[in-house]
Structure 1
Amino acid sequence: MIRLSFSPETNSLLVKISLKDNTVNLYQRACCIFSSESELLQIWDFSGQTSQFVMNEIINLPNISSGKPGKETLLELHVNGFFVTTTETNERSAELSRTENSLGKSQVKTNGSSDNLSLMLTDASPSGSGYRGIGLLGLTGLQNLGNTCFMNSAIQCLVHTPQLVDYFLGDYQKDINYKNPLGMNGELALAFGELLRKLWAPGAVPVAPRMFKCKLAKFAPQFSGYNQHDSQEFLAFLLDGLHEDLNRVKCKPYIEAKDAEGCPDEEVADEYWRNHLARNDSIIVDVCQGQYRSTLVCPVCKKVSVTFDPFMYVTLPLPSTTMRTMTLTVFSTDGIMLPTPFTIAVPKCGRLKDLIDTLSVACSLRNDETLLVAEIYKNQIFRLLDEPSDSLALIRDDDKLVAYRLPKVSETYPLVVFLHQQVERSYSFGVVASNWKPFGVPLVARIQDLSSGSEIRNQFLKLLCPFLMPVEDVVNDYDGNETGNTVNENSKMEDIVSPLVSDSDVGSDSGAENDFRLNTDFKFYLINKLEPLEIKMNKPVSISRFTKKFDVSVHWSEKMMEKYDTCLLSSLPEVFKPQLFTRRPQESISLNKCLEGFLQEEPLGPDDMWYCPRCKKPRQANKKLDLWRLPEILVIHLKRFSYNRFFKNKLETFVDFPIHDLNLSNYISHIDSQLSNCYQLYAISNHYGGMGGGHYTAFVDHGHSRWFEFDDDKVFAVSEDRIKSSAAYVLFYRRVREA
């Protein structure tokens, strides 16, 4: 009796020969079957598909005495010299090293025992000509049809799940539920089964999954077209769709939920699970589904509600492990201090209030002062950050922020924003064209008296005082002339150090002369919706008394550009900018920390209220999740992507996950002595890149810790120490027996 089977879990072909009171001629008969010159060796799977391999030489067997009655003797098959020793006689197996097409030259090797024979199969032509080895079963890539790497990555993880390989290589069609209204008429399961068989066919070339994608788009329009998608979202849909298509329950019974208050959790959990299986029975439930215990506590009446719900995968949050570093530039309005950058550390999940409190300490803010934070973009205030509850996640690393120190007593006065303009000249065909171009960081102040334009000018000159160039530098610019005469330094210094002279100090009859002098100084324009309105020094500013903020455009003359250090006014650092040739420190966190964060108690959000049956009102209850029943295949989704109404973000946190020894005994609330809580990693779906664009690949363990990377149609071996990275997105674990 010969039984030939393929084990996808170990990637080996086992040839078992039962030896029951038979003599040595049994060995000869068996080897003739596998080594006939005229016949093909046929390997059949349960579905009836045939793969054929040729053995060229008759194997001459030694005269081995008969084995012990009732024992099962194994022939150990090896290819290309790859040999794995085994210890148990009745479970001895050999692994076929997977290469590419037909079997090569055969040799016999004995293990030295009377009832065991090891058959070594080697390549007939090491140089590559002639025969090649048996195909690397399962190491087949998927072609990218256009941004379908998300689909390819998830599929490769699933088609290397041992239980699913056994199932879809078998007679799975008998389980298809064509009448399930929640299913896809069996079409999704048939398309997936056909795709899996192509990927596991001997000698397969990269497969183009067009038919599968067509079926996917038919039942999930969100995945139609060729846009980028999330591999975890695709995986969730595929698992649910396969379950419904393969649900063995043709008519789901109606089961009324009972009030189990006061009953032991074990009894309640078992009843929930029985009720679930009564309506849901498929290979997906058998392999991938576990059970949560969900506990809700009303914050008012302390009502406790316990339910037990099935899960297909576990989504773990990535808690922030470090503070966020941010750099802001503080501008003073007292006319004394220069702008000063401050680098502070704030919580990543913090609010604007946390930033202001930390920055106030860093810049020694006085009790009579307050900070106004603004984002600068293209030399303008893009937005004022004036809501203390705003999330700091809204601030990006490449933003440029300033904080203006303002006196508290002036908070009721209107805020004036000074925007700087300078002349820019361009030359075209010998013609000189001039236009005004914005530059520098806006300056702000609060003004009480708007009786004349001179008040605005005086306030602006006060803000500019810290930017005055050193006197000796400016004087040197005017030293000497063509005749060697020296400029009157006293008059020049007076002009430099006395920019605060107010028009009120000049007689009213000299207003025209003063305006002429200001043409070589600064010109001020009130910005409104229609067109800029020039501000006259000796006339009131036309601002409504209800105005809280207005903008003033300041035109700088070339003389003033030389008098002030505009470089100090223009340099503004980003919130965070890595140093040259250095990388930002990578966050690292263990998978255990992620599990602890997932299982900790937390209040429900205001948009996710729980209706308390005792209070008869929606309540923001406290929720606690516990792992109660673990599946054979545990899928862990690392929540790297976060979304809100403003923007999307990806966390590049490095998660240190175990490969061989994930023990969940400390995280499961219900211990079943018959089941192991130890898991081993066998596949990873990776995402590289950011939110705007990225790429998915997969790592797969093909048995005995031999890892391969699946990058669409490319498949190549990788070392185990390479599979841990910050790109790991979805982890696939299988249950193993505890040591």
Structure 2
Amino acid sequence: MSESGVCGLRNLGNTCYMNSALQCLSNIPSMVEFCKDYKNFKNKFNTISTRKSLLELFCDLIDDMWSQQTDCLSPNKFRSKVAEVLPSFAGCGQQDCTEFLRSLLNTFHDELSQMTDADTNSYNNYKTFDEYLYNNFTTKQLIIFSCSECGYRLDETYCPLVVLNLPQIDKKQNLLQIEVSIVVNNTGIEIFRCDTYVLQFTTNKVLVSQLIETLSQRYSDTTSLVLDDKHLIFTVIINHMISKIYDTTDSININELNGKLFVYQFDPSFVNHLFVGLKTNNRFGIPLLLDINDYSNDNIIDTFVAQLAKCLEPDGKQLLTNSLITKSDFQCINFDSNLSVGNQLIFIKLNEHLEKYYTIKQFSHGLDDNNFDRVFKLDDCINQYVSVQHMDDQQNCPNCCTDMFATDCFGQHNHQSQQDSYYPLELDFTNHIRDAKANGAQYVYDLLAITNYTGSYYSGHYTAYARNHINRQWYKFNDSYCRVGVQYM
């Protein structure tokens, strides 16, 4: 007796693409349960036709694959029905697994939507079987058309998606690099810390939210700490002063960037936050972020002294007293909880002896040449997918008359990249779901299966990796052959 669900599928003439897709669907627990319940429903109401639909034959095949009766099947009936219903997949030529999977799910949806009222029945928490399929295998992508200069939003459009067709990053492209520093403003730390990362993108214009997502992931990988992007402020520093504070919906042109990018973490338990630039006779260092509850001079000075002490060597800390700080030419930018820059300025001057003791504990995290050249993470592909692109149908902003831009939804993607990819066992998609964090929702997905392609554009072979939800082991499926073990991944 074979292991439940571990069943190979014979190649019926260049049908490896079909076998790979079927193995992936077969190892989705809810899909297996759906097929079982759908078959029981058809039997209960005696609605099985002499000429079965593609969905009915699919359910029969999934049932046989999990029956433990054999370790290999020939999906002849299913294959014949595919050739009838989806004529573009009728021959024995090279086919794309993703296109087949999309066409297959769309056909299931069409067949279920044609059921008569007498045939329909509630399924779990769904009104119909079709609703279950739609809610679990279809999503909507939001595309925002907005101005690259003033941020004016012209339109918002939703695109239905069955397959999220991510681009594969090709190392042969001229990837653009951008350096971003993150300042952790924790009142509990004794030393001022600044971590600088080099990020790479394929487009010169990227969203601030995209930069923060990539930066947060790199920061988590190097420090094992988690950043809450709701408590981050994205800034540009020019001549040791805050030049601009970005909103997460803003975009940055890498090629036209003036100044250095700094991301500050603020403490949300405080009501007010102030940026303070350092200056004696000349400006120096990077601005400090003060988390305060009131604007009294004593509170601002005390908080500033505590923050500045983290940036000074021991001898400098001994010199640092309130008497060394007086009102003078000293930049301070105030912003509210919505991160909008206010117009309140506070001026302070430092004793000139303090500058020579100024120091920051800096950590530079460049590109890992060995791993970066070889492996790209799934997050990298997602970030490129949501990158900003100019619209093909050029329009002018009705607010400021400059070009409009939009997130690229149907860009040309390279499917023949030879780079290895890293697929996490869990993928947190919360940052890419509209209003998810505002509503306190989490969208974390488990990796259940992977379809693999090796070869060229004209000729190749598909295999699949999938996790059996009963024994929780990973298997490699290569048409008729099944092998267990993570060593194949």
Taking structure 2 as the reference length, what is the TM-score of the superposition? 0.49
Structure of greater Rg:
1
Structure with larger RCO (C-alpha < 8 A, sep 6+)? 2
TM, length-normalised to structure 1: 0.34
Determine which structure has the larger helix proportion and give its number: 2
